Structures are given as structure tokens and as C-alpha cells.
């Protein structure tokens, strides 16, 4: 494996290398939904960031033009070497990865290959260049069917989908890299991230869209003919799955606090990121109908493979240890912000969208 500096991939770099700031954060997968919001949060706070994204899923428009951007895969060790040789990277925020529970059940190999195999050369480069820490975008999917609610970080880990398993495998790999090479990590186990950047210009846009809130917004605005409800026979009060929705900007703040703590030398840890409240699919739809003042056409379908009935987090640990204080924590606020984005961006990131 050649980890010396390479020049492949499209890139845009700062004009004045002589004025290079003392430290950069490398974001992988920052053209995606969560990564782009966290990137915006960091940039708004004056942080220097560099982005690596292969654009297989993300949107170039979601990354500001001025931010150094490398279109390449996380397994591209020449490109990683080039970045590490060029920018003084003090920590990595790793978002790149496939994220769909249902797809991972149908095509597990795709998830093992992308989320795990490609992470091996990536971690080898991190080790070789002695990057002090990795902040990893993990998931509530690592728990599988929970034994009790709310879920605590040290509850049992039994993923019910290949997607969740790949997240757990990556968490385990990070633990090994710490033990063997001292690379510290924080794994943030997101519950259901939703909503859009409060200052506008960024939002959730997946192709194809599989998540409940964006699909429901599109159904309300007539972007899709109806909303499928995957299962009404779960052991929940109304028979539909219960999820813990967390606003994307609160999630971004959790990354910022974690990165700063890692910079101060914090030991490796794992944090749940959720709102500690659960809402059923039907409750989400009902609230969105009120917000949008529109009827959402629905179709009842079979359960989706890999979906646990209830997922609700305890986020006490990050609140106590890092002072995380979510500000957009209500289903209404999340849905209002998601709906506004979809109403103003019915085609997601259209080519004509001005860069921010």
C-alpha cells in the first residue's frame, strides 16, 4: 500500500499555503445529509475543515465552494496521504458510509464492502499519519431490538440489520486501533436525525429517499403519491414503530462538543444522541398534517425487514460529560424545519442552487 502523497481526484485548495491555519479537521462524507450540516456548524464557528467525499450519494452543492474538497473514496490512500501531507489534520470526522437499513438486508455485501472493507485502508492511513482521533458517525442500529427503554450506551449490542452490524464492526475496529496505536475515538450513536439547518440552504436530500420524515414531507407537498407505513402490527400503542427524532443542528452541536473534548485529550467513549422521547410513525404523520395543513395519503404495507419496534435513547451521558444542551428538541420544531426545506427545495439540491 503506497501512502505517499498523490495527486488524484478533483480538488480545490486554499490559494495561500503560507497562511495555512494550525489545524484542520478532515470530514469524510461531508456532502451527505449529516456531514454537510456538521461541516456548516464547524465553519460557522471559524474552524478550518477539509472534505473527502466520493459523491456516490452526497451533493457537491452541500459543501461550500471555499472549503478544500477532494472527490475520492475513503479507501484512496494516495489521496489521503496527499491530504495529510498538505493539511495539518488534528482530527477526523468520519461520516462516509451507506445508511439504509432495508437496503442492507437486501444487499449486505454492499454494506460490508463499503462501510467496513474500505475503512481498513482508511484506518491504516490514519495510523500511518498518526492522526490523534476519529469521531465516528455510528447509529442506534447497533443495539438492535432493545431490552429496555430508554437505551443506555452500555446496553447489549445485537444489531438486527447488516447496516447496524457494519456500524458496530467499525466501532470495534476503532477500539482495536486505540489499543494498538493510541488513536482515540468517539462514536456518536445517532437515533433518528431529522430537520434542516436553521439558517437555510441545507437540508435532507437522499436519492432514493427512504427516510420517514422527508418522504412524508414530499407526500404532503405531492412529491410522491402516497406515504407507505411499514407495518401496523408492532407491539406499540398504535401498532407503528416508535423512533427518537433528534434535530440535525443539535446533532451537529454534539459533534462540535465531542471534537473539542477530543482536542483536549478526552479518552475514547461512546455517546447516544437522541431526544429521549419516542414518536410513532402515525404520530409523526399526524403532526406533519397539522404543520403542513395538508392530508398525507398513506398506504399500509408489510413490515420493513430489520426495523426494531421501539428505539428511544438516554442521552444523559453526553449531557453530563460534555454539557450537550439540545435547543430544537421537539417533534414540532423538527418537522417545521424539515417541511420548510422540502417546500422551498422540492427537488433537493437542484443544480441552480447558489452555493452558500
Q: Which residue intervals of 29-161 are DSSP H helices?
A: 33-44, 77-86, 101-106, 108-111, 119-128
Task: Please select the residue that binds ligand UFG; options are 81, 241, 261, 288, rule is CB under 6 A.
Answer: 241
CB of 101 to ligand UFG, least distance (A): 4
Q: Name the active-site residue from 87, 163, 234, 279.
A: 163
State which of positions 5-24 bind ligand UFG (CB under 6 A).
none
Q: Quick check: 62 and 248 in contact, CB under 8 A?
A: no
DSSP β-ladder status, 89-94 and 24-28: parallel
Member of 110, 304, 317, 356 binding ligand UFG (CB under 6 A): 304
**Under the criterion CB under 6 A, does residue 192 sit at the interface with ligand UFG?**
yes
- Do 148 and 199 touch, CB atoms closer than 8 A? no
Among 71, 77, 115, 139, binds ligand UFG (CB under 6 A): 139
Chain Cα centroid distance, residue 222: 27
Query: Count of residues binding ligand UFG (CB under 6 A)?
Result: 20
Nearer to ligand UFG, 32 or 201 (CB): 32
190 catalytically annotated: no
Residues between 32 and 91 with contacts to ligand UFG, criterion CB under 6 A: none
Segment near ligand UFG (CB under 6 A); pick from 58-66, 72-80, 208-216, 264-272 = 208-216
228 binds ligand UFG (CB under 6 A): yes
In this structure, which long-range contacts are made by residues 34-37, counting pairs with CB atoms below 8 Å and at least 24 apart in sequence? 34/95, 34/137, 34/190, 34/193, 34/248, 34/251, 35/93, 35/95, 35/96, 35/137, 36/62, 36/63, 36/202, 37/196, 37/197, 37/202, 37/248, 37/249, 37/251, 37/252
Q: Name the residue nearer to ligand UFG (CB basis): 117 or 236.
A: 236
How far apart, in whole angstroms, are the C-alpha atoms of residue 233 and residue 244?
Answer: 19
CB of 302 vs ligand UFG, minimal distance in Å: 10
99 is a contact residue toward ligand UFG (CB under 6 A)? yes
Distances (CA, A) of 71 to 59, 62, 123, 152: 11, 13, 18, 37
Instruction: From 5-13, 85-93, 133-141, 329-337, give the range in contact with ligand UFG by CB under 6 A.
Output: 133-141
Q: Which of 281, 312, 334, 335 binds ligand UFG (CB under 6 A)?
A: 281
Output DSSP code: residue 236. S
Q: Which is nearer to ligand UFG, 86 or 192 (CB)?
A: 192
- Residue 320 is placed in which grid cell? 453530563
Of the candidates 242, 195, 229, the one whose C-alpha atom is nearest the C-alpha of residue 214 is 195
Secondary element (H or E) of residue 315: none
In the block, cell 503560507 appears at: 18
Q: Give the residue with the Cβ less far from ligand UFG, 131 or 212.
A: 212
**Which of 72, 229, 254, 296 is close enough to bind ligand UFG by CB under 6 A?**
229
Beta bridge partners of 194: 247
Among 243, 247, 255, 342, binds ligand UFG (CB under 6 A): 243
Q: Report the residue number, 78 or 250, with the smaller CB distance to ligand UFG.
A: 250
211 binds ligand UFG (CB under 6 A): yes
Nearer to ligand UFG, 220 or 227 (CB): 227
CA distances, 128 to each of 2, 84, 88, 219, 289 (Å): 11, 10, 14, 48, 52
Q: Running DSSP on this structure, what letter comes out for residue 12?
A: E
Out of 307, 314, 336, 337, the residue judged to bind ligand UFG by CB under 6 A? 307
Residue 210 binding ligand UFG, by CB under 6 A:
yes
Catalytic residues: 163
Residue numbers at the binding site for ligand UFG (CB under 6 A)? 99, 101, 139-141, 192, 210-212, 215, 227-230, 241, 243, 281, 304, 307, 311
Amino acid at each position: 500500500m503506497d501512502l505517499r502523497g498523490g495527486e488524484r481526484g478533483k480538488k480545490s485548495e486554499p490559494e495561500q499555503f503560507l497562511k495555512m491555519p494550525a489545524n484542520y479537521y478532515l470530514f469524510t462524507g461531508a456532502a451527505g445529509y449529516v456531514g454537510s450540516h456538521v461541516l456548516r456548524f464547524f465553519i460557522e464557528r471559524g474552524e478550518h475543515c477539509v472534505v473527502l467525499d466520493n459523491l456516490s450519494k452526497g451533493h457537491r452543492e452541500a459543501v461550500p465552494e471555499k472549503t478544500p474538497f477532494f472527490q475520492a473514496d475513503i479507501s484512496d490512500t494516495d489521496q489521503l496521504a496527499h491530504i495529510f501531507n498538505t493539511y495539518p489534520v488534528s482530527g477526523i470526522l468520519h461520516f462516509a458510509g451507506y445508511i439504509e437499513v432495508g437496503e442492507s438486508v437486501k444487499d449486505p455485501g454492499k454494506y460490508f464492502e463499503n462501510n467496513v472493507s474500505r475503512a481498513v485502508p482508511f484506518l491504516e492511513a490514519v495510523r500511518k499519519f498518526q492522526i490523534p482521533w476519529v469521531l465516528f458517525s455510528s447509529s442506534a442500529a447497533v443495539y438492535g431490538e432493545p431490552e429496555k427503554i430508554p437505551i443506555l450506551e452500555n446496553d447489549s449490542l445485537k444489531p438486527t440489520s447488516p447496516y447496524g452490524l457494519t456500524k458496530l464492526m467499525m466501532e470495534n475496529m476503532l477500539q482495536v486501533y486505540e489499543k494498538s496505536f493510541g488513536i482515540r475515538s468517539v462514536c456518536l450513536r445517532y437515533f433518528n436525525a431529522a430537520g434542516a439547518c436553521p439558517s437555510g440552504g441545507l437540508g435532507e436530500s437522499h436519492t432514493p429517499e427512504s427516510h420517514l420524515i422527508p418522504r412524508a414531507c414530499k407526500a404532503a407537498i405531492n412529491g410522491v403519491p402516497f406515504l407507505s407505513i411499514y407495518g401496523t402490527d408492532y407491539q406499540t400503542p398504535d401498532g407503528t414503530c416508535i423512533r427518537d427524532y433528534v434535530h440535525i443542528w443539535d446533532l451537529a452541536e454534539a459533534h462540535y462538543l465531542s471534537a473539542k473534548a477530543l482536542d483536549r485529550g478526552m479518552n475514547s467513549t461512546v455517546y447516544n444522541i437522541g431526544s429521549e422521547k419516542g414518536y410513532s410513525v402515525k404520530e409523526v404523520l399526524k403532526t406533519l398534517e397539522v404543520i403542513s395543513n395538508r392530508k398525507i395519503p398513506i398506504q399500509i404495507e408489510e413490515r420493513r425487514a430489520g426495523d426494531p419496534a421501539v428505539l428511544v435513547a438516554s442521552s444523559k451521558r453526553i449531557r453530563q460529560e460534555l454539557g450537550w444542551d439540545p435547543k430544537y428538541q421537539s417533534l414540532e420544531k423538527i418537522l417545521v424545519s424539515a417541511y420548510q426545506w422540502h417546500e422551498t427545495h422540492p427537488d433537493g439540491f437542484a443544480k441552480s442552487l447558489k452555493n452558500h
